[in-house]
Amino acid sequence: MTSIYDAIKDDHDAHRKLLNKIAETTGDSKDRQDAWTEFFNDVKSHAAAEEETFYSKLMQETWGQDAARHSVSEHKELDDLMEELQTTDMSSPGWLAKFKTLKHDYEHHMEEEEEDVFKRAKEVIGKEHNDAFGKRFQERKNEEMGLIEKKRKDSLED
C-alpha cells in the first residue's frame, strides 16, 4: 500500500517530468499536445483528490486551516492558468509565456507542499492512517479522472 505522502509525491514527480517534457517541445506539435493532455488531466484529478482527502483532514486543525486554504487557493490559480492554456493556440507566443508561469508556480506549489505541508500534516494524519489516506486519495483521483470534462462543462455554464 502507498502512503498519502508517497502517492502525492509520486504524482508530483510525474508532473515535474511532464512539465519539463512540455517545456522541451515547440509549437502545436503532437508531442506537446500529448504531454499537455496527460499533464492537464492528471493535475486536475490530483488536485481534486488532494483537496477532498488530504486538505479536508488538515482543515480539522486550527493551524491546518490556513495551510489548507493557501494550497487550495493556489490550486484555483493554477487551474485558471491551465484552463487558459487549454483554450490558447499552442503555437502562439502567449501559450508559451503562460506555460512558463504555470511551470514556475506549480513547481513552487509542489515544493511548498512537500517541504512544509507534509511536515505539519504528519501531526494530524498518524502513521497508522497513512496507507488508508493514500488509498482514498488514489480512489478519489481515479473517480475525478472521469469527471474532468463534466466539471469543465458545468464550470463554463456558470
For position 151, what pLDDT does the model report?
66
Give the model confidence (pLDDT) of 77-110 as tens digits: 999 999 999 999 999 989 999 999 999 999 999 9
For residue 1, name the pLDDT band (cuts at 50, 70, 90): confident
For position 147, what pLDDT does the model report?
75
Distance CA 51, CA 57 (A): 9
Greater confidence, 124 or 54? 54
Per residue, what are the HEC states of 115-145? HHHHHHHCCCCCHHHHHHHHHHHHHHHHHHH
The values of phi and psi at residue 92, to 5°, are -85, 150
The answer to whether residues 103 and 19 touch, using CB atoms and an 8 Å cutoff, is: yes
For the question of whether the overall pTM of this predicted structure is more than 0.85, the answer is: yes
